[in-house]
Amino acid sequence: EAGVAQSPRYKIIEKRQSVAFWCNPISGHATLYWYQQILGQGPKLLIQFQNNGVVDDSQLPKDRFSAERLKGVDSTLKIQPAKLEDSAVYLCASSPRRLLAGVTDTQYFGPGTRLTVL
Amino acid sequence: LAKTTQPISMDSYEGQEVNITCSHNNIATNDYITWYQQFPSQGPRFIIQGYKTKVTNEVASLFIPADRKSSTLSLPRVSLSDTAVYYCLVVANSGYALNFGKGTSLLVTP
């Protein structure tokens, strides 16, 4: 079974530029997550999709970050404009089941995209 | 989301058993305890999940006391390749959001 794919693996931009990350989840997985991991910290959830609908985006800085999951499959996360503090690894994860009460689901993570903002 | 507390770092020698304890005092009745492992330049990887008592798989064991306010991840006979960061998370049974803390950085040496 193929894992979660992310691209690019690395990206270097200057502040105030725009950047986009792409994620292709494991085939058939209903739920998709984007996390931000700053060096030395654990991942922080940015947004969670179930199929193509947003379930939770309470920690997404909406003034500069946006994400979409068209057709309920792959997803893009965009930052516009980037700030120095956005330097981090952006992780995408997916899980197979729809979110249902009483069901806890394993998340499968991709390798991440390392963003450096200069 | 229940907050978790775990040691920042631990050291061990190869072949030893390693126990990492996590406290989660405000865990809710329907929450599960889940552990992930993360190697450098990789995304986290699921290790084990449990609700109460003991759970064992081919990688680790998870011990959860009756009050569920803490849990212990046990790694038997660690090897150098077990050097990683280990995250303890409390997962709501709805599956919503994972609250990753800073994790425990485990260093295994010869």
The answer to whether A88 and B19 have CB atoms below 8 angstroms apart is no
From A43's Cα to the closest Cα of chain B, the distance in A is 6
Q: CA A30, A35, B19: angle at the middle one, nearest 5?
A: 100
B44 closest CB neighbour out of A43, A97, A104:
A43
Q: How far apart (Å, rounded) are the C-alpha atoms in residues B8 and A22?
A: 32
Size of interface A-B (CB pairs under 8 A): 69
* Contact call for B95 and A105, based on CB within 8 A: yes
CB contact, 8 Å: A70 with chain B?
no
The answer to whether A39 faces chain B, any CB pair under 8 Å, is no
Residue A102 contacts B where some CB pair is shorter than 8 Å:
yes
Instruction: Say what the pLDDT of residue B95 is.
Output: 57
Per-residue pLDDT of B16-38, as tens digits, reads: 999 999 999 888 888 889 999 99
Query: What is the least distance, in Å, from the CA of A82 to any CA of chain B?
Result: 22
- What is the DSSP pairing of strand B104-109 with strand B9-13? parallel
Beta bridge partners of A43: none
> CB of A43 within 8 Å of any CB in chain B?
yes
pLDDT tens per residue across all 118 residues of chain A? 689 999 999 999 999 999 999 999 999 888 899 999 999 899 999 999 988 889 889 899 999 999 999 888 999 999 999 999 999 999 999 988 755 544 557 889 999 999 999 9
Report d(CA A48, CA A50) in Å as an integer.
Answer: 7
pLDDT confidence tier of residue B96, bands split at 50, 70 and 90: low
Contact B46 A42 (CB under 8 A): no
Write a three-state SS string for B33-90.
Answer: EEEEEECCCCCCEEEEEECCEEEECCCCEEEECCCCCEEEEEECCCCHHHCEEEEEEE
